[in-house]
Amino acid sequence: MRSTWAMAGLAALAVVSAAGCGPAMTTAGEPVSASAELQGKWWTWAASEPEETNPVADEDGSVCDRNQPEDVWFLAGTFGGEVERACTVPEGRPIVFPLVNLFGSAQDCLAFLRDAEGTALLDGTPVEPEVYAGESITLQGLEGNAVTGEAGRFTTTGCGLWVRLPAPGPGQHILKFSGRSTGLSVGAEYRLTIEESSGAPSGQPSEEAAGPAQAMLRPITDAAPVADEARLF
């Protein structure tokens, strides 16, 4: 497994707890912030596939629909370098991604954010990213995934520059974003097709697209601590 990872992608919009329930809790009993839950959910999505079908390693957008949660649509950057992708998104889905993001130790996040910068354009209009400082997150990975390399639930510190887009209108859109930090540079251009709803529940993944990890994209608790080795995307 690589010693340092860096990645760009869309983070998720705030993950809402089930109706009638309190906020998700860490193993220490501390409330989880919306941004921490969002980061954990995105990292779980990125760690749900091996490299050959991983959305971060995707060369053309052909696997962009795998393991998508029902309340948001995640996008990803790369493991380094630039890529062009085409992706069809159900109408009504907010789109979320990081320009650059990392999980590791609190010290890793401090150094990472000092150098982090990035831009995003939707149909030529700049979109301001949000800075998510280091905070405790949980994530889950499948065996052989391209992020953690092993199966399990982990507690770590997550941070990065994130973009949250309200659901775009039906039709064609061009999304371009790039980011860099600590020597890593990534960029992606998405040709997005927002598919008009046909009356069926939108965003329900096909059996093939759902992949084996759909059940992992839920709030995660009781996670084991992860090593301090920093991973950036």
Residue ranges covered by each domain of the chain: 34-232
* Beta carbons within 8 Å of 46's beta carbon, 6+ residues apart: 7, 9, 54, 55, 56, 74, 76, 146, 147, 233
**pLDDT for position 33:** 79
**pLDDT for position 31:** 52
pLDDT reading at 25 higher than 50: no
Of the chain, the end-to-end C-alpha distance in Å amounts to 14
If one compares 38 and 29, the residue with the highest pLDDT of the two is 38
pLDDT reading at 16 higher than 60: no
Could you tell me what percent of the chain has a pLDDT over 70?
Answer: 71
Q: Give the 3-state secondary structure of residue 212.
A: coil
If one compares 4 and 41, the residue with the highest pLDDT of the two is 41
Query: How crowded is residue 84: how many other Cβ atoms within 10 Å of its Cβ?
Result: 13
- Report which of 71, 83, 80 is spatially closest to residue 13, judged by C-alpha positions: 71
Average pLDDT of 204-232? 48
- Average pLDDT across the chain, whole number: 80
Element at 52 (helix H, strand E): none
pLDDT reading at 1 higher than 50: no
Residue 196 is classified by DSSP as P
**pLDDT for position 197:** 82
